[in-house]
Amino acid sequence: MSVLPIVIWDDPVLRKRAEPVSANSEELQALIDDMFETMYNASGVGLAAPQIGKSIRLFVMDAGPVLEEEETDRGPTVLMNPVIVDHSEEEAKMEEGCLSIPDIRDDVSRPVSIRIRFLDRTFQEQEWDLDSWPARIVQHELDHLDGVLFTDHLSAFRRRVHRSRLSKLERGVMDVDYPVSLKGRTEIG
Ligand code: NI
């Protein structure tokens, strides 16, 4: 397994609509293992394939570190071709960050609970009801598969607040302790 560089925010791959995963392969399973290693190395709770430069509809997550004690810990999970089939009317604001947008966090409003249908890493169809942080992570990562970043959900005012930090990211100025890819150039954080 290896740690892959994480693509930083103004790379076009983060803005593309990713293609469905169609077939299992040794390469796909190895990619999934590498994505888990990359996510854990960066202390993340979710990582979508476009963030390591692969424009396919796949993400990995492990909500363990952010769960409350009474919440179900589903452990390391792979979601392929995920679809939100239902969601609550109720929305809540929670503070999000993104491994592709280091040094920036902000409150994002999203539905509190969702029902998600997806293929697991053995290509079995699953349907899960999620709320709280697991629902939040799934919605954030699913956005990545559609070329959407959490900053897109912010008001014009909040985006202006972050503008100088975002332009620093574009210049490669950031405080990270994981490998990143800047416009195709790999650097070790
Ligand atoms: Ni993200």
Model pLDDT for residues 18-72, shown as the tens digit of each residue? 999 999 999 999 999 999 999 999 999 999 999 999 999 999 999 988 888 888 8
- Report CA(149)–ligand 1 centroid distance (Å): 7
**Is residue 95 annotated as a catalytic residue, yes or no?**
no
Helix (H, G, I), strand (E, B) or coil at 181: strand
CA of 144 to the centre of ligand 1 (A): 7
Tokens of 141: 């990562």
Q: Looking at per-residue confidence, does 181 or 187 come out higher?
A: 181
pLDDT band at 148; cut points 50, 70, 90 = very high
Q: What is the mean pLDDT of the chain?
A: 94
Helix (H) or strand (E) holding 60: strand 58-61
pLDDT at 184 over 80: no
Which among 19, 89, 95, 141 is annotated as catalytic? 141
pLDDT over threshold 60, residue 189? no
